[in-house]
C-alpha cells in the first residue's frame, strides 16, 4: 500500500479514539523510527515508555521468532518452560516479591492489584494520589485523578479517595481500618513527571503497616530501568506489597504483571485470571528483554544519561521554562504556557516527544539512546525552547 491508501484506510476504519498524526512509521531500530519515505525520527516517546530497549532489539526479535514456531498460547492451568523461566527471573528483581500474576497491560495489572488488596484485607477503601494516572478500565480509572479521563463514565467504582501527592500528613489522616490499600506512582508520569520524595514512600509503608493496609506501587511507566534502578520505588529503599508493571516488560510485546509479597492473602484458584496472561510467546519475549536490560546494564545507563540530559536542559537559557524534573530517563520540562505548539515544532524537526498535562513536555527516550542522539536532542530543544512556536487557533 502507498501512503495515501494507508491514510485513507485508517481514517475510514479507526475508532475515532486517537488524534492521528500525519506520519506513517514502518521501521524502527534503537532510538530511531523511519517513516514510509525513509525519513528518520528520534523517538523520545518510546510508545509512552514501552521501548526501553529501543525498537526491534535483536534478542527480543530472535526470541519471538523461535518461540512462535514452538508454542504461542497456553493457559496458566498448564505449566510451561518459558513462563517458569520468566517467573524465576522476575522473582529476583525485588526481594520479598517472589510471586507473580501475568496479564496483558498496565491497566490490567492495576485492576488485579486492587482486587488482590480487597480480597486479601476484606476491606473496600483504596487511597490514591491527586494527579495520578493508573489506567482507563473502570477500577484503575477510579484511581485516576484527572477529570478528563473520568468524565462520561460515572458512576465509577466506589471506595476510592484521592489525597495530595508527597503529603505525608494527608496520608496519615485518610488511611484507616477500612483502607485496603494505598496506591501510588513513585514517579507520576502522565501527571507531570513529579517524583516522590523517598520520605513520602517510606511514610506510606509505615502508615500502611500501622493500619493493616497494603502498599501498591504503580511502576507501569517507571519500571525496568527507566529511572536508573530496576524500579523507581527502590530509590526509596521500600518494598511494597504489590508492584504493578507492564509497558517495557516484554520489549514491546503487550504484557503486564503484578509482583506479589507475602502479606497478600487469599489468592486461591478462580479469584482472578487472564486468558492470555503468561502466554509462552510473551514470556519468551520478556525473558529476552529482561536479560538484555541486565546484560547491557540499562538502569545504570539510564541514570547516567538522564543526569547528563537534565543538566544540559537546565543550562538552556529559556525564560519560558519553569522547571526541569527528572529521574533517570524520565524527564519533564514544565513550561509557563501550553506545550502542544512546542511538541509540534519538535515533530517537524523529526523528534517525537509527549505532553504530561497542558504545560509539561515529557521525554521518555529508549534507554539505549546514544550520547550523540542526546546531544542532537539538546541542541534541538535549545532552539525550540528559546523561540516562539507558531500557535494555531486550536492549540
* 38-51 confidence digits (pLDDT tens): 999 999 999 999 99
Residue 140 located in a structural domain? yes
The average confidence (pLDDT) of the chain is: 97
Which pLDDT tens digit goes with each residue over 140-185?
999 999 999 999 999 999 999 999 999 999 999 999 999 999 999 9
> For 53-119, what is the HEC assignment?
CCECCHHHHHHHHHHHCCCCCCCCCCCCHHHHHHHHHHCCCCCCCCEEEEECCHHHHHHHHHHHHHH
Please tell me whether residues 203 and 178 are part of one structural domain: yes
Selecting among 116, 224, 231, 247, the annotated active-site residue is 247
Please tell me whether residues 328 and 369 are part of one structural domain: yes
Residue 218 located in a structural domain? yes
Residue 393 located in a structural domain? no
Residue 65 located in a structural domain? yes
Q: What percent of the chain has pLDDT over 70?
A: 98
Residue after which a domain boundary falls, among 250, 265, 295:
295
User: Average pLDDT for residues 363-369, to the nearest whole number?
Assistant: 98
Q: How many residues does the chain have?
A: 395
Please tell me whether residues 266 and 133 are part of one structural domain: yes
Residue 276 located in a structural domain? yes
Give the per-residue pLDDT at 389: 67
Give the per-residue pLDDT at 43: 98
Selecting among 218, 224, 231, 241, the annotated active-site residue is 218
Domain residues for the domain of 219 are: 58-295
Please tell me whether residues 187 and 259 are part of one structural domain: yes
Give the per-residue pLDDT at 369: 98
Please tell me whether residues 208 and 310 are part of one structural domain: no
With a cut of 60, say whether residue 394 has pLDDT above it: no
Known catalytic residue: 305?
Answer: no
Which pLDDT tens digit goes with each residue over 309-330?
999 999 999 999 999 999 999 9
| pLDDT band with cut points at 50, 70 and 90 for residue 388 | confident
Please tell me whether residues 202 and 150 are part of one structural domain: yes
Residue after which a domain boundary falls, among 239, 267, 295:
295
Which pLDDT tens digit goes with each residue over 84-110?
999 999 999 999 999 999 999 999 999
With a cut of 70, say whether residue 193 has pLDDT above it: yes
Give the per-residue pLDDT at 378: 98
Residue after which a domain boundary falls, among 261, 277, 295:
295
CATH of the domain at 18: 3.90.1150.10
Give the per-residue pLDDT at 387: 86
Give the per-residue pLDDT at 391: 56
Which pLDDT tens digit goes with each residue over 272-297?
999 999 999 999 999 999 999 999 99
User: Average pLDDT for residues 364-369, to the nearest whole number?
Assistant: 98
Three-state DSSP state, 238: coil
Cα(337)–Cα(321) distance, rounded to whole angstroms?
Answer: 9
Residue 391 located in a structural domain? no
Please tell me whether residues 304 and 279 are part of one structural domain: no
Residue 390 located in a structural domain? no
CATH of the domain at 225: 3.40.640.10
Please tell me whether residues 306 and 233 are part of one structural domain: no
With a cut of 80, say whether residue 250 has pLDDT above it: yes
Give the burial class of 61: count Cβ atoms within 10 A of its Cβ; 0-12 exposed, 13-18 middle, 19 or more buried.
middle
Nearest to 371 by CA among 309, 296, 299: 309
Q: How many domains does the chain have?
A: 2
Please tell me whether residues 281 and 306 are part of one structural domain: no
Quick check: 95 and 233 in contact, CB under 8 A?
no
Residue 17 located in a structural domain? yes
Selecting among 133, 224, 231, 241, the annotated active-site residue is 133
Give the per-residue pLDDT at 390: 57
Here the cell at position 59 is 534478542
For the beta carbon of residue 121, count every other beta carbon within 10 angstroms.
22
The pTM score is: 0.96
With a cut of 60, say whether residue 270 has pLDDT above it: yes
Known catalytic residue: 247?
Answer: yes
Known catalytic residue: 89?
Answer: no
With a cut of 50, say whether residue 393 has pLDDT above it: no
With a cut of 60, say whether residue 126 has pLDDT above it: yes
| pLDDT band with cut points at 50, 70 and 90 for residue 340 | very high
Please tell me whether residues 288 and 366 are part of one structural domain: no
Nearest to 320 by CA among 383, 382, 395, 385: 385
Please tell me whether residues 224 and 196 are part of one structural domain: yes
Cα(334)–Cα(16) distance, rounded to whole angstroms?
Answer: 29
| pLDDT band with cut points at 50, 70 and 90 for residue 253 | very high
Please tell me whether residues 160 and 268 are part of one structural domain: yes
Amino acid at each position: 500500500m502507498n501512503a495515501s491508501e494507508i491514510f485513507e484506510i485508517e481514517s475510514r476504519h479507526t475508532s475515532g479514539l486517537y488524534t492521528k498524526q500525519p506520519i506513517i512509521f514502518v521501521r524502527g531500530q534503537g532510538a530511531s523510527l523511519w517513516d514510509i519515505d525513509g525519513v528518520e525520527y528520534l523517538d523520545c516517546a518510546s510508545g509512552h515508555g514501552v521501548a526501553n530497549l529501543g525498537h526491534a532489539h535483536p534478542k527480543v526479535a530472535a526470541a519471538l521468532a523461535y518461540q512462535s514456531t514452538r508454542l504461542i498460547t497456553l493457559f496458566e492451568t498448564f505449566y510451561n518452560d518459558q513462563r517458569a523461566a520468566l517467573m524465576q527471573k522476575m522473582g529476583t528483581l525485588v526481594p520479598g516479591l517472589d510471586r507473580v500474576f501475568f496479564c496483558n497491560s498496565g491497566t490490567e495489572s492495576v485492576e488485579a492489584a486492587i482486587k488482590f488488596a480487597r480480597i486479601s484485607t476484606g476491606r473496600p477503601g483504596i487511597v490514591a494520589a491527586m494527579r495520578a494516572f493508573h489506567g482507563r478500565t473502570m477500577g484503575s480509572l477510579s484511581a485516576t485523578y484527572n477529570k478528563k479521563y473520568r468524565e462520561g463514565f460515572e458512576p465509577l467504582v466506589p471506595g476510592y479517595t484521592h489525597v495530595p501527592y508527597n503529603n505525608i500528613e494527608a496520608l496519615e489522616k485518610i488511611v484507616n481500618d477500612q483502607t485496603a490499600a494505598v496506591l501510588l506512582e513513585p514517579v507520576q508520569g502522565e501527571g507531570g513527571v513529579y517524583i516522590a520524595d523517598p520520605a513520602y514512600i517510606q511514610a506510606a509503608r509505615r502508615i500502611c503497616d500501622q493500619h493493616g493496609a497494603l502498599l501498591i506501587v504503580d511502576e507501569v511507566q517507571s519500571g525496568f530501568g527507566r529511572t536508573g534502578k530496576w524500579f523507581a520505588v527502590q530509590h526509596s529503599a521500600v518494598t511494597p506489597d504489590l508492584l504493578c508493571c507492564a509497558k517495557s516488560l516484554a520489549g514491546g510485546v503487550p504484557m503486564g504483571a503484578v509482583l506479589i509479597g507475602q502479606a497478600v492473602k487469599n489468592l486461591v484458584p478462580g479469584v482472578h485470571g487472564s486468558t492470555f496472561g503468561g502466554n509462552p510467546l510473551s514470556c519468551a519475549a520478556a525473558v529476552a528483554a529482561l536479560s538484555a536490560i541486565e546484560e547491557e546494564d540499562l538502569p545504570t545507563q539510564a541514570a547516567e544519561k538522564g543526569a547528563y540530559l537534565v543538566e544540559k536542559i537546565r543550562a538552556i537559557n529559556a525564560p519560558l521554562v519553569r522547571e526541569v524534573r527528572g529521574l533517570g530517563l524520565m524527564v519533564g520540562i514544565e513550561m509557563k504556557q501550553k506545550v502542544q505548539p512546542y511538541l509540534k515544532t519538535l515533530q517537524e524537526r523529526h523528534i517525537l516527544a509527549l505532553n504530561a498535562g497542558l504545560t509539561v513536555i515529557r521525554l521518555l527516550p529508549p534507554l539505549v539512546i546514544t550520547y550523540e542522539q542526546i546531544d542532537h536532542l539538546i541542541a534541538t530543544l535549545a532552539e525550540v525552547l528559546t523561540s516562539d512556536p507558531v500557535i494555531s487557533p486550536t492549540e
